[in-house]
Amino acid sequence: MLEMSFWVRNLVFVTSASRLQTSTDWFYANFLCQLADGRLLAVEYKGKDRYTAEDAEEKRAVGAVWASRSGGRCLFAMPTEGDFSAIARAIKP
């Protein structure tokens, strides 16, 4: 089992919030998690009604690019409908 050192709620209106650029504005993942092995996991939860929206698709693409360009240091997951298996898949070594 992979352990987490800590997690924080990434608040949009805080100057220290972590954000990623989308085509029209900024994207603030809901949670940031520091894993015990040093990797950073960004989690953006979407309800069923919003998961397939164009905005969510762009956020998944941005998150995937961010993670892929991090050299394995950053991970991204977008769980939906109470199914958190996306997180387990993202952190799997």
> Which two structure tokens, joined as six digits, stand for 76?
């991204």
> What is the per-residue pLDDT across 8-43, written as a single tens digit (0 to 9) for each?
999 998 889 999 999 999 999 999 999 999 999 999
Residue 1 has pLDDT above 60, yes or no: no
Total-model pTM: 0.91
> What is the per-residue pLDDT across 44-87, written as a single tens digit (0 to 9) for each?
999 989 999 999 999 999 999 999 999 999 999 999 998 999 99
DSSP per residue over 36-83, as a string?
Answer: TTS-EEEE--B-HHHHTSHHHHHHHHHHHHHHHTTTTSEEEE--BTTB
